[in-house]
């Protein structure tokens, strides 16, 4: 009994550090306002947790109580890896305190962070809606007055020379009427890979971009092929880039 009392604070501290991560499911049935994207975070919470959203990855850090559980969280699109306009959080259901700790920014790897303190007995359902504009915020080099944006979840890889390939996640493709383009891939939880260029051709649902990679991939130039479905949503990307010495191969497909 004495040993149990000695180690109890340590056991509680270890439990309080528990972390849970999962990807939100694709949103299929919700009526999404034109020009907006939504993430519905639905959790069963016991006591206190800190919740983060980066892309479509939801992280839960347990502060006190039992680990929180997902209860059908879903996103219409990943939260972009850049500053967005019109970012809001609305609380649809709660049983205690809910507080937005941080909006997504370059200082936190474009992660939204929320604190929840459930003061009801047992678990309580928390339904939070995060939304942002898909119309007005565009990357540097894109004319925001006439930009087109296509965002999709998927998986791929970027292989530079003989190095191990780097995993690519969700992608956002921005195009303006001046033929300027920015293609942004999410990379894990710590960053993004950005490709810039101009439209060379767009025929039969295949756009060819005269592109260049960012500093991470040595600014290598080359054509990038972006495949669109009938709804003009991106579903496949391929690129071979080289400067004569170094070579970069990019492949990506929508899930």
Structure confidence by residue, pLDDT tens digits, 122-163: 899 999 999 988 764 445 555 555 567 888 889 999 999 999
What is the share, in percent, of the chain residues with pLDDT greater than 70? 86
Residue 2: helix, strand or coil by DSSP?
helix
pLDDT computed for residue 26 by the predictor: 87
Total count of residues recorded for the chain: 255
Res 76: pLDDT: 87
What whole-number distance in Å separates Cα of residue 239 and Cα of residue 43? Answer: 39
* Longest CA pairwise span in the chain (Å): 76
State the pTM of this model.
Answer: 0.53
Most confident of 1-5, 78-82, 156-160: 156-160
Share of the chain above pLDDT 90, in %: 51
State how beta strands 74-75 and 25-26 pair.
parallel
pLDDT category of residue 216 using cuts at 50, 70 and 90: confident
CB-based contact 111:53 (threshold 8 Å): yes
User: Which residue ranges form the domains of the chain, and what is each CATH number?
Assistant: 19-133 (no CATH), 148-254 (2.40.128)
User: Does the pLDDT of residue 51 top 70, yes or no?
Assistant: yes
Element (H, E) at 251: strand 247-254
Task: State how far the Cα of 214 lies from the Cα of 156, in Å rounded to an integer.
Answer: 17
């Amino acid at each position: 009994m004495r040993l149990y009392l000695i180690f109890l604070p340590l056991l509680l501290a270890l439990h309080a550090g528990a972390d849970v991560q999962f990807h939100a499911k694709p949103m299929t049935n919700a009526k999404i306002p034109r020009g907006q994207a939504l993430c519905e975070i639905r959790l069963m919470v016991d006591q206190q947790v800190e919740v983060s959203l980066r892309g479509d990855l939801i992280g839960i850090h347990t502060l006190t109580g039992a680990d929180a559980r997902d209860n059908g969280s879903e996103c219409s699109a990943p939260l972009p890896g850049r500053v967005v306009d019109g970012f809001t959080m609305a609380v649809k259901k709660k049983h205690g305190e809910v507080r937005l700790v941080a909006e997504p920014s370059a200082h936190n790897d474009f992660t939204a962070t929320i604190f929840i303190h459930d003061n009801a007995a047992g678990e309580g359902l928390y339904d939070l809606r995060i939304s942002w504009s898909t119309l007005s915020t565009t990357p540097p080099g894109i004319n925001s007055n006439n930009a087109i944006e296509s965002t999709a979840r998927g998986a791929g890889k970027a292989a530079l020379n003989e190095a191990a390939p780097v995993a690519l996640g969700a992608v956002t493709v921005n195009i303006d009427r001046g033929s300027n383009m920015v293609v942004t891939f999410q990379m894990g939880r710590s960053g993004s890979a950005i490709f810039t260029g101009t439209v060379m051709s767009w025929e039969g649902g295949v756009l060819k971009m005269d592109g260049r990679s960012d500093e991470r991939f040595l600014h290598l130039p080359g054509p990038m092929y972006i495949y669109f479905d009938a709804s003009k949503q991106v579903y496949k990307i391929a690129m071979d880039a080289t400067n004569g010495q170094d070579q970069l191969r990019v492949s990506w497909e929508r899930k």
